[in-house]
Amino acid sequence: MNNVALPFESFGVSHRGCVRELNEDSYLVEPETGLWVVADGMGGHDAGEVASASIVDHLATIGIASSAPDLRARFEDRLSRANAEIRRISESRGVTIGSTVAALLAMDGRFACLWAGDSRVYLIRNNSISQISKDHTEVQELLDKGMISAAEALTWPRRNVITHAVGVSDEIVIDFQQGEIMPGDTFVLS
């Protein structure tokens, strides 16, 4: 593994888009702690912006980790706390509140991408872009099982149905990919 510190240039921006009246996105850019996060409150549910803000607020308390495993453990702990808070808010309001999340953790020349829902992580390396995350959606599950084609997926009536998210159940389903950071790598969270 390369122990040379790689410099990070980071920025974040969010826009409500052309469809929604309310921006339910939250993001966190903390290169000094090795953490970048996008959380997208689930449209069509009440208070999606509350859920995404809870995730970012909890993750902002991670602080400086002693190692990559420590950073991941802190991430999972804070995400679990956010999940519990979102569940409490949901119960008190009598509604379902949730958010997707995509995160990049970087330390000691390595990265880990963690996600729940359809927020995505992309890696641009050697002039090629690849999607690291895999959507947690009904349509993606059908594609994976070979039940529909890629062409059918584009117009599938329930293509926007999320199968995993933070705040919608007691247990969070998070997937992850990890690897070595190479000079020139660019990560995009959306």
Whether 18 is in a domain gets the answer no
Whether 131 is in a domain gets the answer yes
Phi, psi torsion values for 126, nearest 5 degrees = 50, 45
Q: What's the CATH code of the domain at 58?
A: 3.60.40.10
Q: How confident is the model at residue 2 (pLDDT cuts 50, 70, 90)?
A: very low
- Among 3-12, 78-87, 91-100, the minimum mean pLDDT is found in 3-12
Whether 10 is in a domain gets the answer no
Q: Which residues pair with 35 in a beta bridge?
A: 30, 105
19-45, pLDDT tens digit by residue? Answer: 556 667 899 999 999 999 999 998 655
Whether 93 is in a domain gets the answer yes
> What is the total count of domains within the chain?
1
Closest by CA position to 56, among listed 110, 100, 3, 21 = 100
Domain that residue 153 falls in: 25-189
Q: Output the six-digit token pair for 62.
A: 């991670």
pTM of the prediction?
A: 0.88
Whether 12 is in a domain gets the answer no
Whether 178 is in a domain gets the answer yes
